[in-house]
Structure 1
Amino acid sequence: MITEQVGNRIRALRKQRGLSQEKLALKAGIDRTYLAGIETGKRNATLLSLEKVAIALDISMRDFFDFEKEVDYK
């Protein structure tokens, strides 16, 4: 399901950058519980929220939605 793919992608990118959910949410200007819901696939994120998260992660929307791209965990 797309909500799970998006959530997994956000979690992977967030962890790669060494950010907690709280720090990413603050950086993106969204509520931490909303971000947690997106990451678990329980919330259906708006495009505006996804754009905020992508900007906070310093990734283009094109690369954000490239689910084939591997994310290096550190």
Structure 2
Amino acid sequence: MDWRQVVAANLRRIRRERGFSQESLAFEADINRTYISKLEKGATWAGLEILVKLSTVLQVEPADFLQRPAKKSGRKS
């Protein structure tokens, strides 16, 4: 999974957990909604300034967007 996909998955998950739509998050963070959509699709890179704006609104640390998902075991016991 490349880093854009890691940020995309985390942003989408955290946004939904916090109950924000893309539109409401964009408004609160003063970011264009289509840019949020591109971030969540992994279609573009997020700069540090954007990550800080998003983390402030979502009340998480910027580093939370860079956490790789836990590896799932493919084996059955």
Please give the range of the TM-score, normalised by the shorter of the 2 chains.
0.7 to 0.9
**Mapping of 1:2-17 within 5 angstroms?**
2-17=3-18
- Deviation per CA, 1:44-64: give whole Å up to 9, x if none: 111101110011101122334
Aligned to 1:21: 22
1:8 to partner: Cα distance: 0.6
Unaligned runs of 5+ residues in structure 2 are 71-77
- Deviation per CA, 1:8-34: give whole Å up to 9, x if none: 100000000111000011111100000
Unaligned runs of 5+ residues in structure 1 are 70-74
1:65 to partner: Cα distance: 2.9
Q: Which 4+ runs in 1 deviate beyond 4 A?
A: none
Retained in 1: the 8 A contact 2:55–2:61?
yes
Q: Which amino acid aligns with 1:40?
A: K
TM-score normalised over the length of structure 2: 0.80
Q: Percent identity?
A: 35
Q: Which amino acid aligns with 2:61?
A: S
TM-score normalised over the length of structure 1: 0.83
